[in-house]
Homo-oligomer: A and B are copies of this chain.
Amino acid sequence: MESDSTAPALSDALAELIENYHELNASTIDELHNEPSPLEFMHYVALNRPFVVRGATSRWTATRKWNAAYLREIMRGQMVNVAITPLGNADSPVQITSGDREDTLFVKPLEVQEAFEDVLEYISKQELEQRDGEIKYAQTQNDNLRGEYTPLASDVQDIPWVRIALEKDPEAINFWLGNSRSVTALHKDNFENIYCQVIGQKHFVLMPPIEMPCVREKELPGATYAQNPESGKLEIKLDEESNTVPFPTWDPDVPERSTTAFSKLSRPLRVTLNAGDMLYLPAMWYHKVSQSCSDEGLCCAVNYWYDMEFAGSFHSLCAFERSAALQIS
């Protein structure tokens, strides 16, 4: 019943979907020189297509004032959560070899509380003095700008055209501070994301949700970095609950590894944000993010997550495509 010689096979239909999408959509990211109106923004949301606004936040206090001295001063005495990893790989697939078996795990960072000024100094010195050692990334993604980083919260602004268009306030505003050693692995979020670069640069690789068949999603056992009590070294510990996390294992920057039959059809979009630039990263887009630092050895950003719309047909159709793709993987 599932195969009819006159109809293309399911894998042909998936390939056609990806090719069709690329024929109908630009292979570059729109660059705006002014912030859009709510209606213009809504066009992008309706299309689920990204854009960059160069210089959008150049007048924000954050963009004008944040630097090592200012952050240290305003955040003096605050404890913050920091993600620690051996390779700058918070929340990412890691291949491990146990005996003669290769396994890929989804590894979360060691999370510790440290004084903000120590974190800042560590991140900056590591970058400027090219020090080895553990990588630290302040990246809690739990609305931390209105939590741990409250003293900095008034330095960023409301984004009226998003609030008006989406008819909602952000679910989370996140503060990110790291250096060029940290790379965020390819993943997607169920949020509309407005990403504002404040210090240094972020380099995004973006792939539309319909490219799900390209990313070789696997169910990865969950694990976490933990400090070995004797050596003090970070090692991977499998989580106690034997949970798994569905996660992409294809890396658009190493396109010949961990491929599917569809990976070659992917057309990743690339964009670099400079301080003051804003990116609209639409819901469910895959993104891989790396960073370059200011001359103080810092890379800092703030992003706004708005709940995505599950009504309409977009989310349901993406879930259907995923189901279909998982059938032939």
A interface residues, Cβ below 8 angstroms from B: 1-4, 7-11, 13-14, 16-17, 20-21, 24-25, 38-39, 42-43, 45-49, 164-165, 167, 208-210, 309-321, 323-324, 326-329
With A17-B319, A314-B314, A316-B21 known as contacts, the answer to whether A328 contacts B1 (CB < 8 A) is yes
Between-chain CB contacts (< 8 Å), 15 pairs: A2-B2, A10-B10, A13-B323, A13-B327, A20-B320, A42-B46, A46-B46, A47-B311, A48-B312, A209-B313, A313-B314, A313-B317, A317-B317, A317-B318, A320-B324
With A43-B42, A210-B313, A312-B25 known as contacts, the answer to whether A319 contacts B7 (CB < 8 A) is no
The reply to whether A20 and B316 form a contact with Cβ atoms under 8 Å apart is yes
Residue of B nearest to A209 (CB): B313
Residues of B within 8 Å of A13, CB to CB, are 320, 323-324, 327
Sorted nearest first, the 8 A-B pairs with minimum C-beta distance are A47-B312, A46-B46, A13-B323, A17-B320, A317-B317, A7-B327, A42-B42, A21-B316
The CA of A39 and the CA of B160, in the complex, are separated in Å by 14
Q: What's the nearest-Cβ distance from chain B to residue A269, in Å? A: 14
How many subunits of this chain does the assembly comprise?
2
Residues of B within 8 Å of A310, CB to CB, are 24
| SS class, residues of chain A in contact with chain B | helix
The reply to whether A25 and B311 form a contact with Cβ atoms under 8 Å apart is yes
Residues of B within 8 Å of A316, CB to CB, are 17, 20-21, 24, 210
Residue of B nearest to A164 (CB): B39
Residue of B nearest to A167 (CB): B43
The CA of A312 and the CA of B312, in the complex, are separated in Å by 14
The CA of A71 and the CA of B63, in the complex, are separated in Å by 65
The reply to whether B4 and A327 form a contact with Cβ atoms under 8 Å apart is yes
Residue of B nearest to A284 (CB): B313
Residues of B within 8 Å of A315, CB to CB, are 24
The reply to whether B16 and A328 form a contact with Cβ atoms under 8 Å apart is no
Q: What's the nearest-Cβ distance from chain B to residue A281, in Å? A: 15
Q: What's the nearest-Cβ distance from chain B to residue A207, in Å? A: 12
The CA of A11 and the CA of B318, in the complex, are separated in Å by 16
The CA of A200 and the CA of B274, in the complex, are separated in Å by 60
Residues of B within 8 Å of A49, CB to CB, are 311-312
Contact of A7 among B39, B309, B323 (CB under 8 A): B323
Residues of B within 8 Å of A313, CB to CB, are 21, 47-48, 208-210, 314, 317-318
Q: What's the nearest-Cβ distance from chain B to residue A15, in Å? A: 10
Of A4, A164, A167, A316, most B-chain CB atoms within 10 Å:
A316
